[in-house]
Amino acid sequence: MTSAALAAPTVHTGKTAEVAHFIDGRAVSSAKPSFENRNPATGEVVSLVHEADAALVDDAVQAARRALKGPWGKMSDQERSAILRKVADGITRRFDEFVRAEVLDTGKPVSLASHLDIPRGAANFNVFADQILTASTETFRMATPDGAGALNYAIRVPRGVIAVVCPWNLPLLLMTWKVAPALACGNTVVVKPSEETPTTAALLGQIMNEAGIPPGVYNVVQGLGPNSTGEFLTRHPEVDGITFTGETRTGEAIMAAASKGVRPVSLELGGKNAAMVFADCDLDKAIEGTMRSVFANCGQVCLGTERVYVERPIFDSFVERLKSAAQGLKMGDPFDKTTNLGPLISAEHRNKVMSYYERAKAEGARIVLGGGIPKLAAPQSGGYFIEPTIWTGLPETSTVVREEIFGPCCHITPFDSEDEVADRVNDSPYGLATAIWTNNLTRAHRLSARIDVGIVWVNSWFLRDLRTPFGGSKQSGVGREGGVHSMEFYTELRNVCVKL
Ligand code: NAD
Ligand code: 6OD
């Protein structure tokens, strides 16, 4: 294993760029890059990515351990908070570079990357720079038999080295959603970005250095999951906690890895989210919100809607209006500002989504729209585009109504009563999010308490104050992150009792 410093992970230099690891404050290479990173919008190779073996993962974990004992471990909350603000400023300063890297890695429209992914990457650091300054713990003055009493209070201490394992759908946003609170609380991190989207995590290493984050506090190891970097990291005995976002089955593997040594986990997993559209809703707003929740990021959003339940009196008009709006989506070059539907992340993922499209046909769905692969001009003809698709007519037991597809598609079912729709929505192994479209706010409150999910939106979607708890119930996850809830995961509470 060589550990030579590489040129900073470059994006689009003419010759194929290499994406490296970032360990102890510098870019580090493996002996050679081991896999290609393709632009999903064209299928062309964007970069060659290095893969960390067990020894390199150990280097990163040891760097993170050393950094806990260095200046980072001695800094006040105020000092860390100020540095995190510089990280946010650094992302904003190099905004275009981050946007370009994210668009090349994911194929997502530039409008989405520049309005959501990259601004949220910066915002996550500012939010937790604020949060750490208001974190508090309880203190009790207690009575003792001798009358002198005792002072019993709690302090928060960093958990230690945190492994951060990330998916590909919102790479910078979801990674910083974990890295920012972990660092705010005084931990050090080793990040394992998705093999599909390695670049922005590497680029963030440069920002960390510029902002004054000491070497070893933020480390990145590139590679695959099982029998590779992800598994080496999550099984590493000197990792003190694991935070993961990704598929439920991977979450199970990570939970099993964490059981060795009894390490805590925070898991943000899959979903099969529903929308409930009542006849008394503002239909224009329900169509606009459902369009976003089904098709944003080409349906590759864990919070996205794949099951739509519409009250029978407005069922036909809702289906027609959603179809007509979806026909207006524009696929093509993601760097074109008018493109609003990008490709899926990979050929493999498109095969998976296509298998559900075929399954829907076989199960007897009525195909309202789409169902196939579009014909686009070069170079997008080489990309992993798929048609936006709407189905009706399937029973609740069918595969496409039960399983997470993670593509630009939904099934629409009519319903006749609040009880019926609540039971249907709850009949899922997942419990991440739901959207309720109604002007009857009493009903909205009633249903919000009844639907077994982590997040309920009423007449909105994806809207949220970042101080509130985020996470899922059932197979959609374990734990909550956001605001003070992140503090709960990224710190240990230590009880101190002082006899007076
Ligand atoms: P994934 O589970 O396949 O991969 C996520 C990460 O885990 C990758 O970095 C991968 O390399 C790594 N990994 C895979 N197997 C591993 C193992 N055995 N040990 C350690 N690491 C391993 O998920 P994905 O395909 O990247 O993302 C899509 C999924 O993520 C969807 O199911 C989606 O619903 C879910 N997701 C959930 C949320 C949420 O907040 N609940 C957010 C985004 C995505
Ligand atoms: O907004 C967030 O903080 C968040 N975790 C979003 C998750 C989106 C899933 O794809």
Q: Is the CB of 198 under 6 A from ligand 1?
A: no
Q: Which atom of ligand 1 is nearest the CA belonging to 234?
A: 20
Which residues lie closer than 8 Å to 98 by C-beta, 6 or more apart? 91, 113, 118, 121, 172, 200, 203
Assign residue 373 a region (left: φ > 0; alpha: ψ between -120 and 50; beta: otherwise).
beta
Strand, helix or coil at 26? strand
Query: For position 14, what pLDDT does the model report?
Result: 53
The two three-digit tokens of residue 235, written as one number? 């099984």
State which of 108, 165, 272, 348 you would mutate to test the pocket of ligand 1, scoring each by most atoms of that ligand within 8 A of its C-beta.
165
CA–CA dist 288, 354 (Å, integer): 26
Q: Which atom of ligand 2 is nearest the CA belonging to 124?
A: 3
**18 included as an active-site residue:** no
CA–CA dist 26, 205 (Å, integer): 8
Neighbour-count burial of 346, counting CB atoms closer than 10 A to its CB (0-12 exposed, 13-18 middle, 19+ buried): middle
Q: Is the CB of 168 under 6 A from ligand 2?
A: no
Query: For position 151, what pLDDT does the model report?
Result: 98
Q: What is the pLDDT along the chain (500 residues), one digit of tens a residue?
A: 333 334 344 444 457 899 999 999 999 999 887 899 999 999 999 999 999 999 999 999 999 999 999 999 999 999 999 999 999 999 999 999 999 999 999 999 999 999 999 999 999 999 999 999 999 999 999 999 999 999 999 999 999 999 999 999 999 999 999 999 999 999 999 999 999 999 999 999 999 999 999 999 999 999 999 999 999 999 999 999 999 999 999 999 999 999 999 999 999 999 999 999 999 999 999 999 999 999 999 999 999 999 999 999 999 999 999 999 999 999 999 999 999 999 999 999 999 999 999 999 999 999 999 999 999 999 999 999 999 999 999 999 999 999 999 999 999 999 999 999 999 999 999 999 999 999 999 999 999 999 999 999 999 999 999 999 999 999 999 999 999 999 999 999 999 999 99
Q: Is the CB of 478 under 6 A from ligand 1?
A: no
**420 included as an active-site residue:** no
CA–CA dist 344, 300 (Å, integer): 8
| Distance in Å, CA 113 to ligand 2 centroid | 14
Query: For position 453, what pLDDT does the model report?
Result: 98
Q: Is the CB of 433 under 6 A from ligand 2?
A: no
Strands (E), 301-392: 305-311, 366-369, 389-392
CB 409 within 8 A of CB 300: no
The two three-digit tokens of residue 251, written as one number? 């979450």
Task: Print burial letters for 212-246: b (CB count within 10 Å at least 16), e (below 16).
Answer: ebbbbbbbbbbbbbeebbbbbbbbbeebbbbbbbb
Residue nearest to atom 5 of ligand 2 (CA): 174
* Rg of the chain, C-alpha, whole Å: 24
Query: For position 484, what pLDDT does the model report?
Result: 96
Domains of the chain by start residue, with CATH: 2-269+477-499 (3.40.605.10), 273-465 (3.40.309.10)
| Distance in Å, CA 27 to ligand 1 centroid | 25
Closest by alpha carbon to 26, among 208, 227, 163?
208
